Amino acid sequence: MSKHPSDSELIAAAREAAGRAYAPYSKFRVGAAVKMAEDETVFSGCNIENASYGGTVCAERTAIFAAVATGLRKIETLALTVLDAPEDAELKDRSPCGICRQVIREFADDDLTRILIDRGNDSWDLLTIEELLPHGFRL
């Protein structure tokens, strides 16, 4: 956990987390870092695969759930990276799965949350939650 990081520091934290991924089946190492709106604390997470694929947990959820477990509930910025993506991979090849999109929306602020998707060349795509999951489910 760290406080007051810049976007580039969040990307770096996501890359570091991806290096810790447990991905023996897909070889697709993903990392996420989430800065929480309440106090700017950063939590990171990696994907953790399981031989029973349904038991796999994505990096985004690992990071978000770590934050929620401490009592924080609002995402300010989420950074995501895929270490093993080819340099010419499109945004769709690097972006969160459907379950993660819904979890991000659950803890997002429509007017505040920013999603950074690492392009791997010291640049990233910036999305809003509405761009990531238009018309997402809410109770």
Q: Which of 49, 60, 106, 131 is catalytic?
A: 60
Per-residue model confidence as pLDDT tens digits over 58-109? 999 999 999 999 999 999 999 999 998 777 777 777 889 999 999 999 999 8
CATH no., domain 7-132: 3.40.140.10
Buried b (16+ CB within 10 A) or exposed e, 107-125: bbeeeebbbbbbbbeeebe
What mean pLDDT is predicted for residues 97-126?
Answer: 89
H runs (alpha helix) in the chain? 7-18, 59-69, 98-106, 129-132
For residue 42, give the H/E element and its range: strand 42-46
Q: Has 87 been annotated as catalytic? A: no
pTM of the complete model: 0.91
Q: Any idea where the domains of the chain sit in the sequence?
A: 7-132
- From residue 47, alpha-carbon distances to 52, 58, 84 in Å are 14, 4, 13
